[in-house]
Amino acid sequence: MPDSIQQEARQILDTLAFTPFQQCQPLSRDFDTIPTRVGLYAFRHSSEGLLYIGKAKNLRDRLRNGHKAFLWGWLDRYNPDEVRIAFVTLNQWQRPGLSYELETLILQASNPPYNVKIPREL
């Protein structure tokens, strides 16, 4: 993979992981503060950090239509006030497959506990 994709993935991961928690979007029913754009998102816990990372063609719809991370967070008894969403929008006109490549690199680097395990590159 070109270095530029790896650099972009690192910048996105840094944004998802290190945006101050209070600047991340709180959980809600309608997610009106989340854009309807292509992007990557992360569920973050106030003290445990990244819980889940994903990609979506429409960030708001992806979260509105239910998400397994909500169920897992409920089962693990997380306080909803301690879980927020960070996101990065992507240019929808970028080449096809880029969001998948970025997500894969980010998951390999961060390994959030609620994501399906992806083998690390050797």
Delineate the domains of the chain, giving CATH numbers in brackets: 3-110 (3.40.1440)
Assign 48 to helix, strand or coil. Answer: coil
DSSP state of 86: E
pLDDT tens track for 36-95: 999 999 999 999 999 999 999 999 999 998 787 777 777 788 898 999 999 999 986 666
Q: How would you class 70 by CB atoms within 10 Å of its CB: exposed for 0-12, middle for 13-18, buried for 19 or more?
A: middle
**Do residues 107 and 53 lie in contact, with contact meaning Cβ atoms separated by under 8 Å?**
yes
The pTM of the full predicted model, rounded to 2 decimals, is 0.85
**Of 12, 2, 19, which is closest to residue 85 (Cα–Cα)?**
19
pLDDT score at 25: 96
Burial readout 96-113 (b: 16 or more C-beta within 10 A, e: otherwise): eeebebbbebbbeeeebe
Spell out a b/e string for 4-16, using b for 16 or more CB atoms within 10 Å of the CB, else e.
eeeebbeebbeeb
pLDDT score at 46: 96
The SS3 of residue 5 is helix
